[in-house]
Each structure stands twice: as C-alpha cells, then as structure tokens.
C-alpha cells in the first residue's frame, strides 16, 4: 500500500475536531467504551453487538469524547484489492491440440513488467478445465508459474443462470512471455478469445465467519432442496455463504434469498450460481461457495436445483462478512465512547472524509470496544398522538348515524304537517 503522508503537520496537533451534527445523548439507546486510545489516529472494528443494535446502514454511529462532544470519524469497508494495473498483451500461436489442450502465448512487449494474474475471455460454455501458466523470456525455455488451477463456466440459458470463473493467480513474474495451456481431455477445447494480464497489489480484507446450521426442506415435485441458514441476528453485513457437503461428483445450480423472518412470503433475491465438486481421473476441483449481494437480514435461503439427481446431504454452512473499520483522531487526555441505536439518525458528513487521505493509515493504533451498555440518558421516543378519529374510532359512525336519524325525524315532521 502506498504510504499516505501528512499534508500539514499541524493537522495532528489541532486539539479539537468537534463535530456539529445531530448528536443528543437522549436519542441514542446503546453505547460502548473505546478502550486503549492514545494521541493520534486510531482504528477499531465494529462487533456483532453494534451490527445488531445500530441502524441497518450504520448511519447512527457516533463517536463522543468525555466532554460529550461529537468527534468526526470515517467508517471504512476494507476491500481485498488496493491497486491494479491491466495489460493487453499480443496473442501468439492461439491454437488447439485436439484431445490435449488449447493454448496461447502472450507477449507483454518487454521484460520487467510485474504480473501476477490473468483472466481468459472465452465464448465457450459449460466446461471445467485445469490450467497451467508458464513464463519465459525467449519462448524456448518455459518455467511453470502455476499448475493445475481450474477454471469453469456453467450456463443455463433456459433458466437464466450463469456462473463463471476464468481468472488465474500466480506468483509475481517479470517474464516477457506467458503461455497458457487449458486441458482438453474430452475433445471439446475451450476457445481463447482474448486474455487480460494484471498486476494486483492486494491486501486481504478483514473478514469474519459465522457457523450456521441448515434447515433442509426437500420438494420432490420441484426437484429442489431448500436450505435455510440462520445467522443468529440481523445487522451483520453478510456477502458470502459456503455450504458444507460430503457429496462427490455433483454440479448443482443454486439461488439465494434473504429475509428477517424465515416464514416470510417476501424473500429478497441476493444471488445465484453453481456449486460443484469433481474427483475424477481427468479433473479434480470444487466450488461450494456462493458470493451474494451484501445483506443484513438474519436468514439466508438457498435453493438447490437437483434436477433428476438424488438430493445432496448438507451438514452446515459458513456465513462470511467483511469487517467495518472505524477511524478517528484521538487525544490522550480524553476518553471516548461509541453511541448507536437511533433509527432516526442520518449519516454524518465530516471534513475528515476529505483530509484523511493525507494521513498514514498504516500507522493507526488498533483499539478495542468495551461491552455494550444501555445509555442511561436515553429517552424512549414518544409515540405521536393519534388523530381523534383513531382514538375514538366509533365517534364518526355513531355521529353520522345520529345525524341521519335527526334528519329523518325532521323530514317526517315536515311531511306530517
């Protein structure tokens, strides 16, 4: 990661970056102490209690110092990738050896370009293949950079489902030439339309996982298995689910949905794909993990399409979520608390968002959260007073009926005269 530097040294020396926003302690239900703060930039990861008690979009997070002043902060979702350079090499000898492999040589144009991944663009569908990547400076002596990596594509045009992974990572290389060989043991070669070569500068995202038991429901008429995973609470930003199964040699389409009530009739679609596992003489590989659109719902439902196959036996699941990191500038002579639990709060906007990029984030001190406590200043919002017609629901119909009877009596007396 490229080091961030201070734009102006006095930024760190400024005593108080006091925010003037909407904070009033009586409106926040929960709080946690921020432990171990000292002077300078500090960072802390939110925990499950915060995810459960805060608003879904975390708009109600507030950092407050010991003088009850709101302190600017920035909430960061840590990403896997920090930087990327893309290259479009010249393709040489794009060819097929029937029954063995399809291959292509890639010319980066010069030696010394650092690369560590590539992505194959192909018009081929419904395949799973092993790939080997070689490197060379002269196209005569080839060094293996990565062997027996698998790529795959599953396309169901009728069902509108597609899952594909044709990316291959390998150790940093400075070879001018790269060669790709895609196995072709069944005389159905994968067409290589183009290849992009990349250099990634990566930082692993801070993730956590939650083990979950699965409730399985078989539907023989629809030939599906419905799995319901319970995360245990709402609010956790889940973005991936890994299914645990002991089965071998399977390939099933799956679709995922989420809801806060497992008996809901309105599940939200969050993703689809394929799970598979092969252990054969010609191909070994598996993928039982499904990336989904991030959801904070408590339940995730996975529908497994069995077609005419026997249902698989699933023993459980792991739910993955990416950590949320909170960064702010602390002073050694002050203590800090994290407030949350205000459904009416809106996301704050601080100047810190603009100048934080001039700090060295790698030097931030990691601190921790204390246990959750109820905020003694919290005042339960009063329910708005209902309209008179709702408080006295019978008043209007009784009044109209009475008025109607009076009018009828008056008309009757008038006609009698």
> What share of the chain has pLDDT > 90, as a percent?
63
Domains and CATH numbers, the chain: 10-78+324-374 (no CATH), 82-202 (2.60.120.260), 209-322 (2.60.120.260)
Tokens coding 84: 């990327």
> What pLDDT does 359 receive?
81
Please say whether the beta carbons of 266 and 345 come within 8 A: no
> What pLDDT does 18 receive?
45
Provide Rg for the chain, Cα atoms.
31
Please say whether the beta carbons of 178 and 120 come within 8 A: no
Q: Residue 76 — very low, low, confident or very high, per pLDDT cuts 50/70/90?
A: confident
Contacts of 19 (CB under 8 A, 6+ apart): 69, 70, 71, 72, 348, 350
Inform me whether the pLDDT recorded for 390 exceeds 80: no
> What pLDDT does 83 receive?
65
Q: Residue 2 — very low, low, confident or very high, per pLDDT cuts 50/70/90?
A: very low
In the predicted model, what is the mean pLDDT of residues 29-52?
93
Inform me whether the pLDDT recorded for 20 exceeds 60: no
> What pLDDT does 389 receive?
64
pLDDT in tens, 91-114: 999 999 988 999 999 999 998 899
> What share of the chain has pLDDT > 70, as a percent?
89
- For the chain, the straight-line distance linking the first and the last C-alpha, in angstroms and rounded, comes to 100
Distance CA 36, CA 356 (A): 21
Inform me whether the pLDDT recorded for 13 exceeds 70: no
pLDDT in tens, 392-416: 677 677 777 888 888 877 777 777 6
Inform me whether the pLDDT recorded for 46 exceeds 90: yes
The length of the chain, given as a count of residues: 417
Q: In this predicted structure, which of 119-133, 239-253, 385-399 has the lowest mean pLDDT?
A: 385-399
pLDDT in tens, 315-334: 999 999 988 999 999 998 89
């Amino acid at each position: 990661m490229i080091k961030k530097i201070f734009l102006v040294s006095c930024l760190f020396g400024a005593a108080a970056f006091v925010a003037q926003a909407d904070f009033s302690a009586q409106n926040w239900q929960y709080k946690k102490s921020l432990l171990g703060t000292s002077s300078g930039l500090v960072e802390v990861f939110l925990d499950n209690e915060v995810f459960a008690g805060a608003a879904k979009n975390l708009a109600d997070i507030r950092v407050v110092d010991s003088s009850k002043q709101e302190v600017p902060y920035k909430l960061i979702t840590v990403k896997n990738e920090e930087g990327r350079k893309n290259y479009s090499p010249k393709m040489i000898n794009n060819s097929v050896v029937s029954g063995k492999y399809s291959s292509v040589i890639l010319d980066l144009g010069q030696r010394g370009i650092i690369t560590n991944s590539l992505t194959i663009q192909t018009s081929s569908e419904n395949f799973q293949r092993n790939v080997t990547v070689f490197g060379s400076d002269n196209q005569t002596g080839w060094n293996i950079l990565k062997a027996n990596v698998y790529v795959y594509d599953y396309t169901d045009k009728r069902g509108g489902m597609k899952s594909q992974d044709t990316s291959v990572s390998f150790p940093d290389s400075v070879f001018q030439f790269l060669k790709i060989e895609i196995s072709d043991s069944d005389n159905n070669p994968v067409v290589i339309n183009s290849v992009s070569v990349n250099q990634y500068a990566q930082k692993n995202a801070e993730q956590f996982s939650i083990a979950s038991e699965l409730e399985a429901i078989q539907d023989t008429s629809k030939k599906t298995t419905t799995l319901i995973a319970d995360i245990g609470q709402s609010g956790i930003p889940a973005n991936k689910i890994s299914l645990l199964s002991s089965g071998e040699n399977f390939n099933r389409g799956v679709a995922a949905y989420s809801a806060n009530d497992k008996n809901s009739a309105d599940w939200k679609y969050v993703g689809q794909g394929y799970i598979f596992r092969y252990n054969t003489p010609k191909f070994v590989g598996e993928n039982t993990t499904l990336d989904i659109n991030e959801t904070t719902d408590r339940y995730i439902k996975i529908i497994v399409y069995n077609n005419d196959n026997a249902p698989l036996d699933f023993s459980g699941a792991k739910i993955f979520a990416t950590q949320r990191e909170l960064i702010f500038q602390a002073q050694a002579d002050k203590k800090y608390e994290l407030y949350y639990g205000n459904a009416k709060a809106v996301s704050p906007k601080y100047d810190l968002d603009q100048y934080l990029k001039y700090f060295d984030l790698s030097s931030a001190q990691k601190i921790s959260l204390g246990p959750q406590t109820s905020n003694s200043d919290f005042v339960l919002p009063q329910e708005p007073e209902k309209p008179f017609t709702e408080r006295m629901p019978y008043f209007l119909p009784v009044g109209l009926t009475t008025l109607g009877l009076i009018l009828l009596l008056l008309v009757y007396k008038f006609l009698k005269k």
